[in-house]
């Protein structure tokens, strides 16, 4: 077995037999990816039926469902996949200690330093076993956003049955705005996430094959 040493980091060795992403992470990642894209596309079609901003309409070419009823069917189907898969992912992440090792701690000073390094193209991506501070913040943030978008979605879907939950979001109308803002945050995350995968292709290989 060969062992590679990261340039300028002789203290860090990469063992090819050690999985960067275990199988459960990879399976949950790709299930989430499919469910989120279906939810976003169908959600845009649902939004078009009753827009929050009349000047904003999503093109039918990127919306999923063709009509309100069809979009709702897609949206609810993907919702249950996302919720169940999310529960599995978060539970295993906590129980296995992966979240603690990968995402904590997050120091504001490190986030600022790594963000500056990224903007000047000086942020290293040699060690895929280690998340930089910006990655930690983004991954933790998108999980919190995912929880908020599901809860606000339940408030919109069943405002009477989940009236206490809807009240926490300021009522049905305000829950729609929270849902919309969370969607924008997730879309923004996906744009950055996909862009980085293209810039650092070995990270894409790692989430497919694990190593």
**pLDDT tens for each residue of 25-35:** 999 999 999 99
Among left, alpha and beta (phi > 0; psi -120 to 50; other), residue 121 is left
**pLDDT tens for each residue of 117-163:** 888 878 777 677 888 899 999 999 999 999 999 999 999 999 999 99
The pLDDT of residue 6 is above 70:
no
Q: What is the pLDDT of residue 16?
A: 52
Band (pLDDT 50/70/90 cuts) for residue 17 is low
55/69 Cα distance (integer angstroms): 23
Band (pLDDT 50/70/90 cuts) for residue 203 is confident
Which pTM was predicted?
0.85
Residue positions counted in the chain: 211
Domains of the chain as residue ranges with CATH: 16-209 (1.20.950.20)
Mean predicted lDDT score pLDDT of the chain: 88
Q: What is the pLDDT of residue 18?
A: 64
In the DSSP assignment, the letter for residue 59 is -
Q: Which residue has the higher pLDDT, 3 or 66?
A: 66
| Cα dihedral sign, 3-5-11-14 | negative
Helices vs strands, H then E, count in the chain = 8, 2
Arithmetic mean of pLDDT, 78-95 = 95
**pLDDT tens for each residue of 158-177:** 999 999 999 999 999 999 99
């Amino acid at each position: 077995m060969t062992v590679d040493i990261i340039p300028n980091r002789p203290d860090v060795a990469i063992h090819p037999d050690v999985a960067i992403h275990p199988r459960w992470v990879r399976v949950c990642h790709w299930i989430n990816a499919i469910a989120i894209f279906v939810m976003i596309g169908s959600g845009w079609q649902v939004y078009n039926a009753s827009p929050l901003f009349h000047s904003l309409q999503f093109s039918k070419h990127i919306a999923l469902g063709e009509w309100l009823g069809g979009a709702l069917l897609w949206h609810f189907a993907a919702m249950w996949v996302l919720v169940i898969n999310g529960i599995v992912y978060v539970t295993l992440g906590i129980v296995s200690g992966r979240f603690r090792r990968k995402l904590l701690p997050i120091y504001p000073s490190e986030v600022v330093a790594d963000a500056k390094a990224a903007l000047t193209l000086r942020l290293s991506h040699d060690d895929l076993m280690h998340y930089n501070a910006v990655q930690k913040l983004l991954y933790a943030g998108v999980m919190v956003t995912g929880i908020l978008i599901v809860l606000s979605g339940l408030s919109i879907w069943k405002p009477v049955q989940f009236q206490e939950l809807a009240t926490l979001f300021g009522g049905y109308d305000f829950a729609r705005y929270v849902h919309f803002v969370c969607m924008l945050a997730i879309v923004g995350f996906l744009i950055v996430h996909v862009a980085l995968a293209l810039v650092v292709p070995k990270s894409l290989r790692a989430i497919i094959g694990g190593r």
